[in-house]
Amino acid sequence: MKNYQPCKNQKQVVINQKTDKRVLIDNVVLLKSEANYTTFYLESGSKKLVAHTIKYYEHFLKIHGFIRIHRSYIVNPLHIKGFNLEDDTLTMSNGFKATVSRRKKRIFRKDLFS
């Protein structure tokens, strides 16, 4: 995609094309889908709401190691702090809990724990 360009050997993702607002990929903890909007949860604890669907970012972030664990969540595996086997939730570095879907549970466990 032409919207994503590296800067000084660090990858960035454009979250607002009009203002050219960018975020370093390493600072993104997870993305949460909310209808036709996506919320970026950042390492600093801040949130950025974007008027694009989560699918818009999925392919680019998958190249950088992000995992789609649910139709509403894409997570950065570098920020996963724990996985609860009882209710299949991930605890992220910012304290956010994201649910792993039934269909992606087996794939997620194999990828993360192998």
Q: How many domains does the chain have?
A: 1
**pLDDT tens-digit profile of 59-106?**
989 999 899 999 999 999 999 999 888 898 999 999 999 999 998 888
Look at residue 30 and tell me if it is in a domain. yes
pTM of the predicted protein model: 0.81
Instruction: Compare 9 and 78 and report the one with higher pLDDT.
Output: 78
Look at residue 63 and tell me if it is in a domain. yes
- Residue 106 lies in domain: 12-113
Residue 38: CATH number of its domain: 2.40.50.1020
Look at residue 54 and tell me if it is in a domain. yes
Task: Please state the three-class secondary structure of the chain as a single string.
Answer: CCCCCCECCECEEEEECCCCEEEEHHHEEEEEEECCEEEEEECCCCEEEECCCHHHHHHHHHHCCCEEEECCEEECHHHEEEEECCCCEEEECCCCEEECCHHHHHHHHHHHHC
Task: Identify the pLDDT of residue 114.
Answer: 60
Look at residue 7 and tell me if it is in a domain. no
Look at residue 6 and tell me if it is in a domain. no
